[in-house]
Structure 1
């Protein structure tokens, strides 16, 4: 379940670019003046080992086929990446230390790459001693702002120059300085990550005399896709695109998995989404005689489009043929992953199930699996040695991301394959700061009336609890919330971990979009789960009861009229009043003879006395009736 694809919002633009680039190369080249040289730079970012096809993730073989087609149309084509080619990968690549991804990208004619934070997932020593040698060159891990700790000595190659048809194109690599918080601190203790802008401008000045065109490959990117807003972003990336020197002719971005092709102060600034769904493109015209840059323009190309199948359903269809050599690499890797998937990674003490009967049938109820995965997410962003960020408080897991159960079987052993089947989407873990009010809104968004699934019950981590009414108006389901036993106030703040799908508003949980400081931890759900199992001798099913359904209190009934006296006594008393008006007790019993009566008067009442007695009797009846009504109300309260 990858993050909801923002590509569709730009579908018309992307398809237009695809048509122009893929299907009209002859016309495009014919428009080039005879004394200019046409160069094309194709780009990817955040591929993350997605070598197998999965929906709009076309896989390494189709990616290779697209690159081959473009290079056949214009041999002056360079294929570059803005980093995160490996790491946070799906099972087939992850289980084999991403070597199938490296091999597939080399076979797909990748020429060079910036280094990304995920290239450091297994530490700098692994990058230096294993990953770079497998690529065959330091050109595949460019990092001009990566220094030996405590110095300004480059720890990685800073740039690479490619000459095509007499034109020298320089590529500088930089990486977000946040990398030190995105990977295990122990693995990068030898390094410092410096300011990108300083490094990019410094290196551009150094190589300007040796190049005709300079492209910056930065493993950082915009928070959104609005070209009107991107130049004003107050971030390291915003500083970079605003402050890059005039020597830098284009900026290719990554890290934030966004899709955009913008013009910032006359300079193309592009990002090609994620996972091999899209190619970025820079079309460059250089004066053949002088080497001067004539023009440079950016665009993006969807590698798959949506079509309607015979059942009327929308399906993703690749727009390029699969490369046979790369497909063999992928097939071999898949077969090997099937074997490696049988490796035991841990033990469970009992069945860990999704909601419903059979398990997985009902996403609207609390489940042991949902709560366990939330616990794993919280562990991953608190105690996990590979996490370098601030510790989280709460974690949540969407039920749609749980695709299998873990069964005890004969001895409780759990394999790689079984763990991978629970969360097969390869999402990364993110953290977002939510207020108590936003946390309540998130919980309220579990109820989605009118949808095929009217409720999606979130798994929640230990420490968070709430009571709810299932049958309630929208926004009124959550009755109470506590964290570590204390009531949650609307203004309280919590760092909440979830997966990248949910944090981007997936499954309708848009409360995360209202939070602040959302950060991708760089941890993939599968690898974090495997390491969680390795850290515990036995994993127990998470208990239920963190979310408790309560019954709505019965409303107080409206008092029903009775035969008891009311504030309006009957005009004709049925019993003639006497000096003793009633046998019923009253709140203040009165003597039978009024205290003001003189003792020597006759006991037979006069007309005036009778009037007084009638009035007094009525008053007593009214008081008695009112007291009885009050007592009845207290009984029903």
Structure 2
């Protein structure tokens, strides 16, 4: 990349930048009650993150979904002037980015040592900014899904009175994140808890142009559709987009919240935004690909709906300004070895930095004033974040690939992460029991079995919930179920801590109790039979990843034989009994069935919502729609109920976690 333009002296650069900012400032005179008119977005000044690099920040208020935005205006109704970058100037814009951190701020491990992921990012950001030329801008951006995935989630709580901290947003603020997008997992504990986390701990703007109508989180108060940043005389526009497919809409306490088409949103906003900016950044938490796409942690095709391919194809023709798309949601590693030409659609560069803090992405652009895409060029890549393993000896060839003390900012870790760890310390280490079930519940066994048949750990979990229901305020349940993708690991023989079990069940599911007839349970099993991974396809799938078909496991009251047949369409459940009685003899009888939140809400990409099952299942086979059942809200956290039963039992024994033939595959 070029260094500072030799024709631009330091004094001229600073003077021209200041003049441009001053000219823009002179026309911005807002009143508190200013409102955007139809077809307009109102440019409202806001405080940038004090730890970030943005000099002036403006949030764009108004409705981006009512129709095309004709113009972006000031409070007085005057259009915002063209970008302030002086003619003939060139700037270097360096965008550092991460996505799908899932609260992997610091990964703690007794034997390997702690991996300080965010503190490594901070260290690299400090070095990058220190080395920047005077005409260079370095920003840090978040690609969404900062929540759900590590024990730090427990600090957020489930109710406002339980709130301690939003660990992800608090640490991101201290790290200097300049702008971020709302991901789907931000809503896992409900929009009310998200609003509280934003209010208490987010010191950077959160964007989504297509989330709307929530009862708890309000556009233009808690988040906005788009933003404009000014740094060193350059104006950068941002649009945020959230996946339609996997965001938890339809929550009982927020029934009207919706997620509109991201393509519609970008078509409405981008033309007007690009007119007032030198460059536009789309923060897309929608997933790499289109429709059904297999990438990242997907073990098979995964439904993503309108993804980054669709967004880039829509955005490219709308402007001749440089546009880059920083992605998320699909956990895809893109451009790790430099630019892959396949990741440019209609002139829009797409990239993504996998997930869980494994990489810090970088896009570096050289931008020339008034030349649009014809006068820019770019570099793109990923910087690995090192994992820790103190067991590796210094003479091991891989020794340097692991994190050492000088790889992370120890002062940042002490100041911002250590207090959160202290708040979690007793929770993490808390012993909840002892595992004596051996390899039957190991991670290797869970990964090998959860998609293809019966699994001892899932048997244990479903049986545990039925036992716990004896004390439920709204009564016992006849049956419990859980989807295979909702457990991410197994457990090791020996002592079991809260942190160990959190690794098994990181998702924020609550218990919902449905009333189902025997006939409905029969239909559910027939749909489930078509979701199992069949022997003839197993070799082509990654069993450690998400095979998002929604294959369900059940408690021991339900027993059946799954007949594969000659093809997926022929797969069926036979010889079904419930509590020892043939299910066919109880078609009209009603039963109480415990669901986790994800399946109760239709399974999203796992298609318990009437849509085609997908994920590699041929023939566009329609999944059963479970959303219309009659549900009771228990108010209970699924994970906490399983932990309570583990405590009561003293752990997980071979008798409690066993293969008992409740499911046989023929």
Q: Judge same fold: TM > 0.5, yes or no.
A: yes
Residue 212 of structure 2 aligns with which residue?
147
Unaligned stretches of 5+ residues in structure 1: 1-27, 227-232, 385-390, 408-416, 447-457, 469-479, 488-494, 505-511, 520-525, 551-637
- Aligned mates of 2:525, 2:575 — CA distance in 1: 19
Match of 1:523 in 2: none
1:214-613 alignment to 2 at 5 Å? 214-222=280-288, 223-225=293-295, 235-237=305-307, 238-244=309-315, 245-247=317-319, 249-261=323-335, 262-288=343-369, 294-297=375-378, 299-304=380-385, 310=395, 316-318=401-403, 321-328=407-414, 329-341=416-428, 353-355=436-438, 369-373=457-461, 395-396=483-484, 401-404=489-492, 418-424=497-503, 436=529, 439=532, 441=534, 461-462=554-555, 463=558, 484=577, 514-515=616-617, 528-530=638-640, 532-533=642-643, 542=656, 544-547=658-661
1:51 paired to 2:142: no
Q: Report the 3-state secondary structure (helix = DSSP H, G, I; strand = E; otherwise coil) of the residue aligned with 1:157.
A: coil
- CA shift, 1:83, in A, is 1.0
* Cα offset, 1:254, TM superposition: 0.8
Conserved? CA contact 1:146–1:194, under 8 Å: yes
For 1:259, what is the secondary structure of its paired residue? coil
Q: Is the 8 A contact 1:377 1:429 kept in 2?
A: no
In 1, are the aligned partners of 2:312 and 2:346 still within 8 Å (CA)? Answer: no
* Residues 135-168 of structure 1: CA deviation (Å, up to 9, x unaligned): 135x1x2111122269x97673111211122110
Provide the C-alpha distance between the structure 1 equivalents of 2:219 and 2:171, rounded to a whole number of angstroms. Answer: 32
Measured at CA, do residues 153 and 418 of structure 1 come closer, stay the same or move farther in structure 2, by a change above 3 Å? closer
CA 1:377–1:110 in structure 2 vs 1: closer, same or farther (change >3 Å)? farther
- With the length of structure 1 as denominator, give the TM-score of the two structures: 0.56
Q: Shift of residue 169 of structure 1? A: 0.5
Q: Which residue of 1 aligns with 2:150?
A: 90
- Contact map agreement 2:427 2:499 (CA 8 A) in 1: no
The question of whether the paired residues in 2 share the 8 Å contact of 1:41 and 1:78 is answered with: yes
- With normalisation by structure 2, the TM-score equals 0.54
Unpaired runs of 5+ residues, structure 2, are: 8-88, 158-164, 297-302, 336-342, 473-478, 510-523, 540-550, 564-572, 584-594, 600-604, 607-613, 624-635
**Contact (CA 8 Å) 1:44, 1:80: kept in 2 or not?**
yes
Distance change in 2, residues 1:167/1:528 (3 Å): farther
RMSD over equivalenced CA pairs, Å: 5.6
The offset of 1:250, in angstroms, is 1.2
Deviation at 1:481, TM superposition (A): 8.1
Distance 1:314 1:142 in 2: 40
- CA distance 1:324–1:266, change in 2 (3 Å): same
Q: Who is 1:99 aligned against?
A: 166
Residues 1:367 and 1:126: Cα distance change in structure 2 (over 3 Å): closer
Measure the CA separation in 2 of the matches of 1:368 and 1:325: 44
- Aligned pairs, number: 450
Q: Secondary structure at the match of 2:402?
A: strand
Corresponding residue for residue 128 of structure 1: 195
